[in-house]
């Protein structure tokens, strides 16, 4: 757990305690800091102290705090009732670099809802700089920074992790297209690293470049793929997005903004030689003959292609049997990249879903209220409850029905417009899903569906649940087995 610390105490413990003692002391405050960073911190402290030391300058700081799941780090943070203060410490004095960092910090801290002062300090020159209202840097005096810290009314009642909601920082190209088009987002360090490697490959001049980008729900795979397309467009390239599913409203917003996006069903009529690179999004859903055709055409035209997909997000038996992921991996010379860091869903929801789809995992989840269980023995009452949900807070997702026969889940979901196929790749703050009496667990602990259905309800339910960023509501109908399994997931 991250705790505040007195900066002088941290510096002196590093200088005078045994290494093991210092490490224990720092760890007690949740601090991981390199030796050279302590030296820079010492420079800051000495510059601020001058001949007029005041403990209010140094007390109650968070050192090296990282936003959970995002990984964004701040050198110094201190929260106040009147305003917050962020100080970044640099060993050099590169103004442009300082300015970029403080602008980035302003994006992440802007959700805190209070006035914030952004300061950068150079240990090389002992100078202070502050971000002004125009997001440019002004040099400020030591006395101005001292006054800022001394006049701050410290507020430490709110745990720091509670101040940050990771879902605020993942902008969806589909659900927040205006923010995406304006560039009001940042990538995590892992996303940035993968992006750099992919952009290097696409700019290498190599023939027939094939790239695979994989990641589970919540890793920001779609944002990264579309960010790469945006960069390619700005660089004068002519990328084409082929979405292997139904186009959504977000796609249309991007198309209206000049992006070239088509559905996989139209790819056969598209001259791929006119575009490059090609992004196949949700590629796990492409049909084998379409896959063979696209790969052959890109290879013959010496083109470039990115396959973005998640093998676990197949929705019917045929997609599972096709195993397009294995065919993508088998493309000669393909470069493969995978995102592993969960950044969309909070840990409570992510861990709950893991245990829900396999109840042998033994993952306990702390119940903080983000997951709601609503049980009905009557389908009629469940239907009435669904109709009462505030649609501004909850996205209710039903299973995609068969075109050929009526299925049981249609008896309680007729009034719900969005299906599993409609929401592929999208995300919502609150998601409500229905779990009927045909769901159960097999001997391996895997979630299964024993009713008749064309698509796979267990996989559709998993996909629907992973659309949730902040809140998840399970409406359980006449299924005490599932209700008990859910309650066992939570800590006592």
Q: What does the pLDDT look like over 329-388, one tens digit per residue?
A: 999 999 999 998 666 556 788 889 999 999 888 788 888 888 999 999 999 999 999 889
Task: Note the pLDDT of residue 124.
Answer: 95
Ranking 16-20, 208-212, 402-406 by mean pLDDT, the lowest is 402-406
Q: Which residues of 207-219 are buried (b: 16+ CB within 10 A; e: fewer)?
A: ebbbbbbbbbbbb
The mean pLDDT value for 405-409 works out to 88
Task: Note the pLDDT of residue 404.
Answer: 84
Task: Note the pLDDT of residue 190.
Answer: 86
pLDDT tens string 324-333: 999 999 999 9
CA separation, residue 443 to residues 11, 213, 360, 447 (Å): 56, 33, 10, 10
Sheet bearing 428-435, strands edge to edge: 371-376, 468-477, 428-435, 395-396
Ranking 150-154, 320-324, 389-393 by mean pLDDT, the lowest is 320-324
Percent of the chain beyond pLDDT 90? 68
Is residue 300 scored above 60 in pLDDT?
Answer: yes
Half-sphere exposure of 261 (CA within 13 A, CB side): 23
Task: Note the pLDDT of residue 427.
Answer: 86
3-state helix, strand, coil in the chain (%, to 5): 40, 20, 35
The mean pLDDT value for 190-213 works out to 91
The mean pLDDT of the chain is 91
Task: Note the pLDDT of residue 167.
Answer: 67
For 46, the enclosing helix (H) or strand (E) is: helix 35-49
pLDDT tens string 14-36: 999 999 999 999 999 999 888 88
Is residue 208 scored above 90 in pLDDT?
Answer: no
Half-sphere exposure of 13 (CA within 13 A, CB side): 18
Q: How many helices (H) and strands (E) does the chain have?
A: 17, 18
Ranking 82-91, 113-122, 309-318 by mean pLDDT, the lowest is 309-318
DSSP H helical segments within 206-362, as ranges? 221-234, 249-256, 288-300, 317-322, 324-329, 347-357
How far apart (Å, rounded) are the C-alpha atoms in residues 366 and 396?
24
| 3-class DSSP string for 398-442 | ECCCCCCCCCCCHHHHCCCCCECCCCCCCCEEEEEEEECCCEEEC
CATH class of 347-489: alpha beta
> What secondary structure letter does DSSP report for 443?
T
- Sorted by sequence, the CB contacts under 8 Å of residue 337 that are 6+ apart come out as 194, 197, 198, 211, 212, 213, 214
CA angle 110, 116, 117 (to 5 degrees): 130
> What secondary structure letter does DSSP report for 274?
G
Task: Note the pLDDT of residue 188.
Answer: 80
Task: Note the pLDDT of residue 343.
Answer: 63
- Sorted by sequence, the CB contacts under 8 Å of residue 106 that are 6+ apart come out as 116, 118, 131, 135
Grouping H, G, I as helix, E, B as strand and the rest as coil, residue 211 is strand
CA separation, residue 266 to residues 19, 201, 245, 314, 457 (Å): 64, 27, 11, 21, 28
Q: Is the previous residue joined to 277 through a cis bond, with omega within 30 degrees of 0? A: yes
Task: Note the pLDDT of residue 321.
Answer: 83
CA separation, residue 95 to residues 41, 45, 127, 139 (Å): 19, 21, 11, 10
Task: Note the pLDDT of residue 220.
Answer: 85
Displacement of CA 385 from its chain's centroid (Å): 30
Please choose, from the candidates 298, 324, 341, 67, the residue with its C-alpha nearest in 3D space to the C-alpha of residue 194: 341
> What secondary structure letter does DSSP report for 361?
S
How far apart (Å, rounded) are the C-alpha atoms in residues 105 and 77?
11
Fold topology of 177-339: Rossmann fold (3.40.50)
Whether the domain at 177-339 and the domain at 347-489 fall into the same CATH topology: yes
Q: Any idea where the domains of the chain sit in the sequence?
A: 7-164, 177-339, 347-489
CATH class of 7-164: alpha beta
The mean pLDDT value for 144-152 works out to 95
How far apart (Å, rounded) are the C-alpha atoms in residues 489 and 362?
8
Direct distance between the N- and C-terminal alpha carbons of the chain, in angstroms, rounded to an integer? 21
Would you place residue 206 in the very low, low, confident or very high pLDDT band (cuts 50, 70, 90)?
Answer: confident
- The pairing of beta strand 73-78 with beta strand 84-90: antiparallel
Task: Note the pLDDT of residue 183.
Answer: 87
């Amino acid at each position: 757990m991250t705790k505040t610390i007195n900066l002088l105490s941290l510096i002196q413990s590093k200088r005078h305690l045994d290494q093991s003692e210092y490490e224990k002391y720092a760890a007690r405050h949740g601090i991981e800091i390199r030796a050279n960073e302590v030296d820079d911190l010492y420079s800051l402290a000495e510059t601020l102290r001058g001949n007029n030391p005041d403990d209010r300058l140094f007390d109650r700081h968070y050192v090296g705090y990282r936003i959970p799941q995002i990984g964004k780090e701040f050198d110094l943070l201190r929260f106040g009732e009147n305003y917050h203060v962020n100080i970044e410490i640099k060993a050099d004095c590169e103004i442009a670099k300082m300015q970029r960092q403080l602008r980035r910090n302003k994006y992440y801290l802007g959700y805190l809802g209070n006035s914030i002062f952004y300061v950068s300090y150079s240990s090389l020159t002992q100078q202070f700089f502050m971000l002004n209202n125009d997001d440019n840097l002004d040099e400020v005096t030591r006395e101005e920074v001292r006054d800022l810290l001394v006049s701050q009314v410290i507020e430490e009642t709110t745990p720091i992790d509670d101040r940050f909601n990771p879902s605020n920082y993942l902008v969806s190209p589909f659900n927040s297209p205006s923010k995406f088009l304006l560039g009001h987002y940042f990538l995590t360090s892992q996303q940035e690293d993968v992006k750099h490697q992919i952009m290097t490959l696409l700019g290498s001049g190599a023939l027939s470049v094939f790239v695979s980008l994989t990641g589970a729900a919540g890793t920001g795979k779609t944002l990264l793929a579309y960010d790469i397309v945006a960069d390619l467009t700005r660089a004068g390239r002519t990328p084409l997005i082929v979405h292997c599913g139904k186009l959504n409203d977000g796609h249309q917003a991007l198309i209206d903004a000049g992006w070239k996006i088509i559905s996989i069903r139209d790819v056969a009529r598209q001259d791929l030689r006119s575009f490059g690179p090609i992004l196949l999004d949700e590629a796990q859903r492409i049909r084998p003959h379409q896959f063979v055709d696209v790969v052959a055409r890109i290879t013959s035209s010496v083109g470039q292609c990115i396959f973005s997909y998640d093998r676990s997000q197949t929705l019917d038996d045929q997609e599972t049997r096709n195993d397009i992921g294995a065919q993508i991996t088998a493309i000669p010379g393909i470069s493969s990249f995978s995102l592993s860091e969960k950044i969309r869903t909070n840990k409570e929801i992510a861990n709950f879903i893991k245990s829900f789809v396999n109840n042998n995992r033994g993952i306990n989840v702390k119940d903080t209220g983000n997951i709601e269980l609503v049980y009905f023995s009557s389908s009629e009452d469940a239907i009435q409850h669904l109709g009462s949900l505030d649609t501004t807070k909850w996205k209710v997702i039903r299973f995609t029905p068969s075109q050929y026969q009526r299925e049981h889940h249609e008896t309680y979901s007729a009034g719900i417009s969005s299906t599993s196929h409609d929401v592929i790749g999208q995300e919502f703050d609150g998601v409500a899903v229905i779990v009927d009496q045909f769901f159960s667990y097999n001997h391996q602990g895997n979630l299964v569906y024993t009713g008749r259905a064309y698509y796979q309800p267990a996989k559709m339910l998993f996909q629907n649940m992973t659309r949730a960023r902040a809140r998840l509501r399970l409406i359980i109908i006449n299924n005490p087995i599932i209700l008990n399994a859910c309650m066992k997931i939570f800590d006592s």
